[in-house]
Structure 1
Amino acid sequence: MNRPPTFDESWHRVEDRRVCLRPGVEIFPQRFRGMRWYVVQDSLGNRFFRIRPPAYRFICELERSGTVGGAWERSLKNSPEEAPGQGEVVQLLSQLHQSGLLRSDLGGDVTALFEAQQKEQRRQVTAQWANLFFLRIPLINPDRFLQRTLPAVGWLISKLGLVIWLLLLVLGVKAVAENWQQFRAESGGLLGAANLPWLYAAIIVIKGLHEYGHGYFCRKFGGEVPQMGIMLLLFNPLPYVDASSSWAFREKSKRALVGAAGMIVEILLASVAAIVWANTREGIEHAIAYNVIIIASVGTLLFNLNPLLRFDGYHILSDLLEVPNLQSRASRTALYLLEKYVFRVPNTANPAETRVETFWLTFYFVASFIYRILLLVGILLLVSGWFFIIGILLAIGFFVLWLVVPVFKAIKYLLTSPRLEGRRHVAAAICLGLVMVLGAAISLVPMPSHFRANGVIRSDPFARVYAGSAGDLVEMLVPSGTVVVEGQPLVRMVSFDLDQEIKLLQLDLRRLETLKRDALETDPVRHLSLQEYQQALVVRQQKLADQKASLLVRAPVAGRWISPELGTVVGATLQRGTELGVVQGEEKFYMAAVVRQAEVARLFGGNIQKTGVKVRGQEAKTLAVSDLQAIPADHPGENGRQNSNQPQAQGVAGMDAGRQAMSSEPFFEVRAFLVPDSTCMLVHGQQGIARLDLPWEPLLSQWLRSLRQLFQRNYRV
């Protein structure tokens, strides 16, 4: 890392000034990553700043020397290798002055201090409202309450408390593990309308105790908790406390414990709730306990422990790595790389200590930025799915915060940053060129385009075999797994009731013949009515004959007969429509996927260049496709027509087009017929994914189409 220059052109402005730290500012040492640092604490504003030992020694010299120049010369004389350069001194004094921590020989110190405090307050308010979706509203000072109640709960922050915490954790995990199936089953009603009030109440109470956990741990180790209030997390009110005084703790273990205190409390609550849940039946207590388990365990692990968000996990990681202000330091490192390697700004200082630290700070900056974008987009889609108007307002807010504001800051940086002196025009030209190149790349340069669709592998032919009539299963004529031909008998059933009804019908027909002969000579009108009645009996006889024939169930198509469970129910009575098994082919397969009409028009407009299908579990092999077909989803299709025309005597219901659900928007079933491959085993019902390569087109066109489809699918816009 290059050392900044010793001399600075702005030195004459401060050289003869008499300055020192104002009363109330304290400095104490800390060790970060094996090196000594000093923390400057502003007790009045509850703010903390970290400085290096050379800067600390210079501040000490300010107390002894008459002027800034004299203090710098003494520092240079005492430690010529480590003494700060004039530019570093100017920057240090500027930061301390802007923060209202210096007292100088200039008139109006009190006025300047008051103005500095007002400026800091305005900066905090502006920062809060700029971060509208994470707005903090301070309400009370809980420090006195925490002091008074600490003796009652402080004993838990000890080795005994750790033993109790671990014991409850083990019991809680055991309770959930022993009732895991029930635990999973109850998750289906978590977001139900009846449970939402209890869920929200659990969130408020748990997060309140979470924040008090931070406060008590901080107070236990000697820190102050000057502020508690409400944080509007995406307009959802949640409590928060200011435990930033823990930054002054010398032991990083204590700082990390304060950061983890909220999660420690939540895990404790989740453990107790798990024990209560496992020992109660359905009711309010049971439901509340389940809500507490979910919020205090899953929510804690996904959000509070995640270091990519500025919650507890972030501060714990910062303390363990001994890198204060991790996010801002990562941002400064990314800015350093931009200035050094893109703008070619000379004498830029790297905030990182080593190349390895430069790499992982840059990685953290990129990862946290991408994760926050994905999280916000996910929240936006979730909220807009429930409340469309609120979703639109959130989208506008995200657009302003994540596009308009950063662009404004970037323009301000290019126009006013003193670090770009001498390179400002070059930096502006480079930025403009990058924007133009990026815009041209995404809007003009064709890029690979493809369409993916999830589907199900089906054999062709395939038919389900049903009992055509109620009866007793007496014999499986063909064992399961046998290859059969179309029309081959599979199962034989008998029905005593059906046989008796057929016999009674035959007797009725004989009696009717006798009545007809007698009426032919004596009563011609009655003869005509008996003749009509006879025709109805004949129709009934034919229907019963068909039902009897269906008791001998035949294969509707050629293929392999599969019915592994049917042999266990031989002798049992089966109702009409009971599924007996399936017959499926083994030589021809296709993947069926449901696709919207708009996509079908684009796919089948002569644009498909290549199609491949991957089967779940065998992703290493891509199967070729011999043919593609699109069938309206509410249309029975060829197979449906064929199966529905099979005689009911065969006991085949096929795909029963009459029972298919009609979609509210036009969908198509796309069938991709697969080319057989001996290295890939295909079974009816497997999951697969098809990829259709389309003509190349610019990324902007692809993104706009995806966005339009998203709005059409979710919001009917």
Structure 2
Amino acid sequence: MTNSEENDFPLPELREDIQLLQGPTALDGSPTWTIFDPIRNRYFKIGWLAFQLLSRWSVGTVQKITNIVKRETTCNINEKDVEDLIRFLYGNNLTRNSANNTSDDYYIQYQNGKLGWIAWLLKNYLFLRVPLVRPNTFFQKIIPYTDPLFSHITRNVIFVLGLLGLYLVARQWDTFVNTFLYFFNFKGAVLYFIALVFIKVSHELGHALTATRFGCKIPTMGVALLVLFPVLFTDTSDAYRLTSRSQRLYIGAAGVLTEFYLALICIFLWSFLPDGMLRSTAFVVATVSFSLTLLLNINPFMRFDGYYILSDWLGIENLQSRSFALGKWKLREILFSLKDPLPEKFSAGMQKFLIIYAWCTWTYRFFLLVAIAFIVYYLFFKLLGIILFVAEIYIFILMPIIKEITVWWNRQESILQSQRSFLTACIFLMLLLVFFIPWNSRVTFPAILEPIEKTTVYAPAPGRIGSIQVSNGAEIKAGETIVVLDSPQIDDDILRTKTQIQALNLRLQRIAASAEDLFDVHILHQQLKEQESKLAGLMELKDRLVIRSPISGKIVEIADSLHPGRWINETLPIAFIIQEDALLVEGMVSAIDLSRLEISQDALFIPDDVSRDSIRVEVSELEYSNITNLDVPYFASIFGGEIAVRQDEGSHLVPEVSIYRIKLDIKDKNKHTPNQVVRGIVNVEGEPKSFAKRVYEIVAAVLIRGSGF
């Protein structure tokens, strides 16, 4: 007996229920096979060598199967290859007995994989599947009756209706894009909810029916909680048994195609439905709902339809895990040049694509998970929100980073021997210095330049210009005349009133000669007082038609086409007057920047209008109470400013973030005085502060403001 035969040991028995299925052709053209575990509904892809071993597994021992495969095939294998396959089978519970031939191994494996309720919640609250039905038998029964849905005739009819609908919509495009949504009552909300459920159920039925037509089983359908938001799901994992890549692509795209067909039908129906909730529903299904579905389902960076479509199109199962392995390998090579072997060989173009895909997925998930963390933080009550926020940031963002750094630490000997590591360390140190050294001292905030004293002069009443006493650019003192208005109506009323007064005085002078006047003497005196009072009012009104300057200053703008004889009314701004020696810069700063400013700090106002010169200013006043209603519309985002605001029910401008008012005095007194409010920014050399401190203050301010403690 040889030594190899003495060291030979038996192969573990495979489970009778597992199935070995023909798989799709690999990227390199080699055949593949799939091991199907029906109990756990899991699939394992294997290559040519593993298939040759499993197809001869009944020979009994490691040495025998090694010799037979060597003799009967072109595979050059050794006992280590067989041992690797045995470990794979044991690790995935594909053997009848455990490695130690005892049930305790399965119990220990179960206990190791079992999570406490807190760990389970933290792991699954982002995405939790809740199976509701096992519809496979139902789909097997109805699939013969669904043939018309998959016929070329049905597809062509839908396309024709869709094209006709698009043509009709194009002819009334303005009406289409301004479709009023009748969902602002209980009945409308219920109708919209029913339509939304119908769309999403149709989406899942598209997956299920297509998979069933290709011979796949649908073990479960149910609801998945995506950050506690319910979405429907269909388990089409049995599609892994299909050898046709096009069939798997069709299954993955069936849901989106179903919604696309519904959108085409609804576009057609919109043109014929009357205004109301049904037309609004057709509009939403054809536009908003379908667009959101595309954004969510076609996204290849999350495990939705788009990911599986891309995976099947490339012919790469487990796309993310395999691309992530390449992405980590490339990252280590860039940073440390370790000369590690490729985790998996692909063509040069495919390798580059998978690396870029991995890095894009990491970037997308980072920002998505941070956004979800903040949503969760605000969604729950504050204490739980903070706990979930911290847990999510740690588990889904920090832990993967820590694991990769741990790999680097365990390989520190190889890393320290690499020259690239020294360059990486220098760049990293420079980035740390940039991040932590307080070199950024400039504070920049939006501001406006305006005169402290300014006024717009209007006519007190409609009138005709009699004379113009000033010109544009003239200096004027308070009380000086700008324009004199004539009012024929007022002049006529004054003349008639004076005539009435003269007549009444004449009658009172001759009262002794008239018994009638003598009897009405008290009435005549009362009428005289009324006419004199009326005359005084008319003279006051006539005097008001002499338009005078309310302040001393300079006329920087006068209305166009003013000339004697022109009629004007109360709404026409006649002149704009400012005080040249009283200019002020007013700005709005954040809470973080406010702490870096002091009274008497020098600053520079830079107008948005590049034709204007910059002006030296200094900080004169800081307000430490935040502004709840923005009273200067020039800063508001809805009017082209830089402060994000929203309008409340009273049409007040409410800032979305805390802002504080700052005022600055002009130091360049000889600069050209603007004839209007000038927008711009102010640069102040404030207290130096590092990026790290700024990030810390922003995060701390958000958490403190939102904690409610």
TM-score (norm: length of structure 2): 0.70
What residue is the counterpart of 1:318 in the other structure? 311
Matched, 1:139 2:132: yes
User: Per the alignment, do residues 276 and 70 of structure 1 end up closer, same or farther by CA in structure 2, a change over 3 Å counting?
Assistant: same
Q: Identify which of 433, 454, 459 aligns with 1:468.
A: 459
Is the CA contact (8 Å cut-off) linking 1:610 and 1:693 kept in structure 2? no
Residue aligned with 2:217, SS: coil
Q: Identify which of 420, 438, 443 aligns with 1:446.
A: 438
Query: Residue type matched to 2:18 in 1?
Result: G
Distance 2:166 2:391 in 1: 44
What residue is the counterpart of 1:541 in the other structure? 538
User: Per the alignment, do residues 162 and 146 of structure 1 end up closer, same or farther by CA in structure 2, a change over 3 Å counting?
Assistant: same
User: Per the alignment, do residues 464 and 398 of structure 1 end up closer, same or farther by CA in structure 2, a change over 3 Å counting?
Assistant: same
Q: Tell me the alpha carbon deviations over residues 505-536 of structure 1, each in whole angstroms, 9 at most, x when there is no partner.
A: 655766787799999xx999999999997886
Residue aligned with 1:307, SS: coil
Matched, 1:72 2:63: no
Query: Residue type matched to 2:691 in 1?
Result: L
What residue is the counterpart of 2:644 in the other structure? none
Q: Tell me the alpha carbon deviations over residues 229-285 of structure 1, each in whole angstroms, 9 at most, x when there is no partner.
A: 111112122211101222332222222221111111222223333344444444332
Q: How does 1:441-520 map to 2 (within 5 A)?
A: 444-446=436-438, 448=440, 453=445, 468=459, 471=462
Query: Residue type matched to 1:95 in 2?
Result: F
Distance 1:628 1:14 in 2: 90
What residue is the counterpart of 1:644 in the other structure? none
Tell me how large the CA RMSD over aligned residues is: 6.1
Query: Residue type matched to 1:545 in 2?
Result: K
Q: Identify which of 376, 380, 393 aligns with 1:402.
A: 393
Q: Identify which of 270, 282, 285 aligns with 1:289.
A: 282
Residue aligned with 1:31, SS: coil
Query: Residue type matched to 1:207 in 2?
Result: K
Is the CA contact (8 Å cut-off) linking 1:414 and 1:427 kept in structure 2? no
1:92 CA displacement: 3.5
Distance 1:391 1:176 in 2: 48
What residue is the counterpart of 1:643 in the other structure? none
What residue is the counterpart of 2:514 in the other structure? none
1:299 CA displacement: 0.5
1:698 CA displacement: 2.6
Distance 2:69 2:536 in 1: 116
Distance 2:178 2:153 in 1: 36
Identity over aligned pairs, percent = 19
Distance 1:635 1:214 in 2: 52
Q: How does 1:223-622 map to 2 (within 5 A)?
A: 223-337=216-330, 349-351=342-344, 353-354=346-347, 356-379=349-372, 389-390=380-381, 393-394=384-385, 396-404=387-395, 423=411, 444-446=436-438, 448=440, 453=445, 468=459, 471=462, 537=534, 540-541=537-538, 543-545=540-542, 548-549=545-546, 576-577=570-571, 594-596=588-590, 599-600=593-594, 602-603=596-597
User: Per the alignment, do residues 144 and 440 of structure 1 end up closer, same or farther by CA in structure 2, a change over 3 Å counting?
Assistant: same
User: Per the alignment, do residues 513 and 54 of structure 1 end up closer, same or farther by CA in structure 2, a change over 3 Å counting?
Assistant: farther
Residue aligned with 1:156, SS: helix
Gaps of 5+ in 1: 1-11, 640-658, 676-681
What residue is the counterpart of 1:24 in the other structure? 18
Query: Residue type matched to 1:218 in 2?
Result: A
What residue is the counterpart of 1:58 in the other structure? 53
Is the CA contact (8 Å cut-off) linking 2:462 and 2:568 kept in structure 1? yes
Q: Tell me the alpha carbon deviations over residues 87-143 of structure 1, each in whole angstroms, 9 at most, x when there is no partner.
A: 55444432332222234697858x589769968995899878613121111121111
Query: How many equivalent pairs are there?
Result: 653
What residue is the counterpart of 2:691 in the other structure? 699
Distance 1:670 1:317 in 2: 57
Is the CA contact (8 Å cut-off) linking 2:588 and 2:661 kept in structure 1? yes
Is the CA contact (8 Å cut-off) linking 1:336 and 1:350 kept in structure 2? yes
Is the CA contact (8 Å cut-off) linking 1:458 and 1:683 kept in structure 2? no
Residue aligned with 1:203, SS: helix
Distance 1:93 1:26 in 2: 16
Q: Which stretch of structure 1 is more off in the superposition, 338-347 or 207-216?
A: 338-347
Residue aligned with 1:50, SS: strand
Distance 2:153 2:327 in 1: 45
Is the CA contact (8 Å cut-off) linking 1:30 and 1:36 kept in structure 2? no
What residue is the counterpart of 2:41 in the other structure? 46
Is the CA contact (8 Å cut-off) linking 2:182 and 2:280 kept in structure 1? no
Matched, 1:211 2:216: no
Q: Tell me the alpha carbon deviations over residues 62-82 of structure 1, each in whole angstroms, 9 at most, x when there is no partner.
A: 34x4323433344456667x6
Is the CA contact (8 Å cut-off) linking 1:28 and 1:39 kept in structure 2? yes
Q: Identify which of 138, 155, 163 aligns with 1:162.
A: 155
Is the CA contact (8 Å cut-off) linking 1:628 and 1:671 kept in structure 2? yes
Q: Which stretch of structure 1 is more off in the superposition, 160-169 or 341-350?
A: 341-350
1:310 CA displacement: 1.8
Q: Tell me the alpha carbon deviations over residues 333-392 of structure 1, each in whole angstroms, 9 at most, x when there is no partner.
A: 33444666778889655135245444433332332233233234445556767x5x4576
1:403 CA displacement: 0.9
Gaps of 5+ in 2: 1-5, 512-517, 635-649, 669-673
User: Per the alignment, do residues 715 and 391 of structure 1 end up closer, same or farther by CA in structure 2, a change over 3 Å counting?
Assistant: closer
Distance 1:683 1:323 in 2: 68
User: Per the alignment, do residues 291 and 32 of structure 1 end up closer, same or farther by CA in structure 2, a change over 3 Å counting?
Assistant: same
Q: Which stretch of structure 1 is more off in the superposition, 488-497 or 703-712?
A: 488-497
